[in-house]
Amino acid sequence: MILIDGKATAAALKEEVRIKVLDAAARVGRAPHLAVIRVGEDPASVVYVRNKEKACDVTGIRNTTIVLPEETTEEALLAKVQELNRDPLVDGILVQLPLPRHISESKVIETIAMEKDVDGFHPLNVAGLWQKTPHVSPCTPKGIMKLLEVAGVDPKGKRAVVIGRSNIVGLPAAKMLLDANATVTMCHTRTANLADETRRAEILVVAAGKAKMITADMVSPGAVVIDVGMDRDPETGKLCGDVDFEGVAPKAYAITPVPGGVGPMTIACLMENTLECYLRRTEAR
């Protein structure tokens, strides 16, 4: 069984980004600059944003984190985003989700300039992915494809099953697997007889947000299992994935652990996206 090391793969990708940043900064005269906005004190968001700051430090990307109070109005947040859109010295803009309920996430995402949308969430970037025109790719699905590559798994001709249909992970991951010539089945927590689908998977991507929902009996021997879950084990309170790792790992050809699998790749791909946005902007000028 191959344990897919997301932490090491992410470190290698960040090192590649660091070298490219160093080289490009010497030509452009400044490093790439990522602006991150956090609204409120959601504990998970605090951790995610801190990890983004650390990754910027490691890669030599300049980071500005803007923390706004929970009561910030939608109008004020949109104005802040527009200010960053106009700032020629900002290359990437990320607004940490989820946002407080009184703020429309879709309005915020639509307001971020497409060319600075390092998350790849803007409707025009989403359209670009689905229509195969230039776009920024969303970080987590991009990270998943890179992990398959390091595990030596070519999706071409394979049956891939994706559980989860979110805009952030499930839908774009299914599209990227399709573009890599897998045959893709899209499932979700309400799929009837889910185990019948998952047992057919040669590549199983799980992004359902349900602790340990994938048990050993749902996985066929030799499958490649990618666990995007970030859950708490209801018994131990420890961080765990959507896959029952102990049960599934012995059957799998390759599997990602939680933590240390997909999570670190999302952030490394965010650094790569920031570099790409900066290069596109500065080289176009």
Q: Which residues bind ligand GUN (CB under 6 A)?
A: 48, 94-97, 119, 139, 168, 266
Cα–Cα distance for residue pair 275/18, rounded to 1 Å: 9
Q: With respect to ligand GUN, which residue has the nearer C-beta, 19 or 47? A: 47
Active site residue 210: no
Cα–Cα distance for residue pair 232/209, rounded to 1 Å: 10
Q: Which residue has the tokens 């801190």?
A: 50
Among residues 5, 14, 20, 52, the one annotated as catalytic is: 52
The answer for residues whose C-beta is within 8 angstroms of residue 152's C-beta and 6 or more apart is: none
Q: With respect to ligand GUN, which residue has the nearer C-beta, 120 or 257? A: 120
Minimum distance between the CB of residue 27 and ligand GUN, rounded to whole angstroms? 29
Measured at CB, which residue is nearest to ligand GUN?
97
Three-state secondary-structure class, residue 96: coil
Active site residue 119: yes
Active site residue 52: yes
Dihedrals φ, ψ of 60, to 5°? Answer: 80, 15
Three-state secondary-structure class, residue 170: helix
Cα–Cα distance for residue pair 270/264, rounded to 1 Å: 10
Angle at CA 158, nearest 5°, toward 157 and 164? 130
Cα–Cα distance for residue pair 49/96, rounded to 1 Å: 7
Q: With respect to ligand GUN, which residue has the nearer C-beta, 95 or 182? A: 95
Among residues 5, 96, 212, 231, the one annotated as catalytic is: 96
Cα–Cα distance for residue pair 170/175, rounded to 1 Å: 9
Minimum distance between the CB of residue 228 and ligand GUN, rounded to whole angstroms? 11
Q: With respect to ligand GUN, which residue has the nearer C-beta, 94 or 218? A: 94
Minimum distance between the CB of residue 112 and ligand GUN, rounded to whole angstroms? 10
Cα–Cα distance for residue pair 167/241, rounded to 1 Å: 19
Among residues 5, 91, 119, 227, the one annotated as catalytic is: 119
Cα–Cα distance for residue pair 171/178, rounded to 1 Å: 11
Cα–Cα distance for residue pair 259/200, rounded to 1 Å: 26
Minimum distance between the CB of residue 223 and ligand GUN, rounded to whole angstroms? 26
Strand-pairing partners, residue 186, are 162
Minimum distance between the CB of residue 196 and ligand GUN, rounded to whole angstroms? 30
Minimum distance between the CB of residue 139 and ligand GUN, rounded to whole angstroms? 6
Catalytic residue list: 52, 96, 119
